[in-house]
Amino acid sequence: MSDLGDGTRCVHAGLPEPAPGDPFLPGPVLAAPYHLDPWQGPAGSPNGYGRPDNPTRRLLEAAVGELEGGDCRVFATGQAAITGMLLTLLRPGDTVVLPTDGYFPVRAFATDVLEAIGVRVLFVPTVGPYPSLEGVRLVLVETPANPGLDVVDVAALAKQAHAAGALLAVDNTTATPLGQRPLDLGADLVVASGTKALTGHSDLLLGYVASRSTELIEAVTGWRTTTGSVPGAFDAWLAHRSLGTLDLRLARQSANAAAVADLLAGRPDVTGLRWPGRPDDPAYPVASAQMRRMPGVLSFDLGDADRVSRFVEAARLVVAATSFGGLHTTADRRAQWGDDTAPGFVRLSCGVEDTVDLVADIAAALDAAGSA
C-alpha cells in the first residue's frame, strides 16, 4: 500500500481480505483462553491464550506497522511501550541518552528505576548538542518534543548513533506516522503513545513499538509476553476503528494549529509561542524538511497559573485536560503535573472544531482573561 495516499492507507491498513458476509473490521475477540487442539495443543493455532497473542491485536499491529513502515507490537499504554523497550534493551553497565525536555514520566522512570539497576543515564536537550556517543547503548529522542515542541534532525542523529555503535529510538507520539516516519530516516525503533492523536477519540489507552529489525521486535515481544503488558481486545479494536479517520483528523488539527498560532503571534499578552510549522519557529528549518505534516499541538505562556485558569474558564471550545491529540481542543498547564515548565506555560492541543469558531473563541477567552 506504499503507493497509495495517506487517507487511503489509513482506511485500509490492517484489514483482512474481504469475504461475503464479514464486516470490514471484525469485532473484538474477547477470549482469554481459546479451544486447543487435543493433539497438537498450542501448535495447532496462534490463539491459545490472550496474553501472548490475540487476533484483534494482530490486526491493529498490522495496521500501525503499515503506517510506520515496520513490524509493530502494541502495549497497554505509551509509557508501558517506552519502559518495555528500555528494559528490553538495557542492562546494568549500559548507557542510555534521554531528552531533558521530553515526556517527564520517562525521565522519572530513568532516575527511579534505570539508575537503580545500574544503567547510566545521560540527559541531553532534544536539539543537542549531543556528546560523543561512544559506549552508548541507546539514544531515545522525542521529536517534536512534548511539551516544548523542539525538533531534532533524525537522519543526522541516526548517523551519529550508528557510527558509535548505538541504537536510535524515536518517540513519534506528537507527529504520528503520518507526520513523520522515523524508520525511513534511519531510526532503529519507533515508540509512541497511541492514546493521543493516533486514535484521537480520548477513549482508550495504548502504546506501541515498531522496528524493521527482527531481532529487536522478537526481544520486545518476549518482554511483553513475560510481563503481560498488553492492551485489551476492545481497546485494540477501538484503536483500529479510529485509524480510518487519522488523515482527516490530522488535517483539521494542523490547520487549526496554524490559524491559532497566527492569532497568538499577534498578541502582546502571549509569549513563548512554539509551533514547528511557523517559519519563524526555531524548529521550522528541520521540521519543514523532515516532517510530512505539522502537528495540531502548540505551546505558549500566559504569564501565571491564574491567567491560564481564567482563559480556560472563559473559553467555550477549550477545555482543561491532560493528554492531547483528541477531537476536542484542550489546554494543559503542564506545571500542575510536576513538569519543569513555567507556571503559565500551556500546551494547547487543537481539536477538529471549525477553524473560524476556534480562533474566535480563543481570542475572546484571552481578552476575558485579562493580563497576568
Residues 213, 64 share a domain: yes
pLDDT of residue 266: 97
pLDDT of residue 140: 98
Whether 66 is covered by a domain: the verdict is yes
Q: Are 166 and 139 a contacting pair, CB within 8 Å?
A: yes
Grid-cell match 513490524, residue found:
71
Phi, psi of 167 (to 5 degrees): -90, 150
Q: Are 96 and 114 a contacting pair, CB within 8 Å?
A: yes
Whether 347 is covered by a domain: the verdict is yes
pLDDT of residue 339: 85
Domain that holds residue 255: 247-369
Whether 86 is covered by a domain: the verdict is yes
Total number of domains constituting the chain: 2
Whether 1 is covered by a domain: the verdict is no
Among 190, 213, 243, the domain boundary falls at 243
Residues 304, 236 share a domain: no
Write down the pTM of the prediction.
0.96
For the record, the C-alpha cell of 173 comes out as 507520539
pLDDT of residue 338: 85
Residues 182, 116 share a domain: yes
Instruction: Supply the CATH number for residue 131's domain.
Output: 3.40.640.10
Residues 237, 263 share a domain: no
Residues 165, 20 share a domain: yes
In the chain the beta strands, taken as DSSP E runs, fall at 71-75, 95-99, 120-124, 138-142, 167-171, 189-193, 207-211, 271-274, 297-301, 318-320, 329-333, 345-349
Residues 166, 238 share a domain: yes
Residues 257, 152 share a domain: no
Whether 198 is covered by a domain: the verdict is yes
Residues 282, 139 share a domain: no
Residues 297, 210 share a domain: no
Whether 226 is covered by a domain: the verdict is yes
Instruction: Supply the CATH number for residue 291's domain.
Output: 3.90.1150.10
Question: Which residues neighbour 125 within 8 Å (Cβ) at sequence distance 6 or greater?
Answer: 99, 100, 101, 150
User: Quick one: which of 72, 75, 119 has its CA closest to 93?
Assistant: 119
Among 219, 243, 267, the domain boundary falls at 243
Residues 56, 146 share a domain: yes
- DSSP-assigned beta bridge partners for residue 347: 299, 332
Whether 157 is covered by a domain: the verdict is yes
Among 243, 270, 299, the domain boundary falls at 243
User: Quick one: which of 187, 117, 127 has its CA closest to 158?
Assistant: 187
Residues 129, 67 share a domain: yes
- The two beta strands, 345-349 and 297-301, are antiparallel
Residues 353, 309 share a domain: yes
Per-residue pLDDT of the chain (372 residues), as tens digits, is: 678 999 999 999 999 999 999 999 999 999 999 999 999 988 888 898 999 999 999 999 999 999 999 999 999 999 999 999 999 999 999 999 999 998 889 999 999 999 999 999 999 999 999 999 999 999 999 999 999 999 999 999 999 999 999 999 999 999 999 999 999 999 999 999 999 999 999 999 999 999 999 999 999 999 999 999 999 999 999 999 999 999 999 999 999 999 999 999 999 999 999 999 999 999 999 999 999 999 999 999 999 999 999 999 999 999 999 999 999 999 999 989 888 899 999 999 999 999 999 999 999 999 999 987
Whether 19 is covered by a domain: the verdict is yes
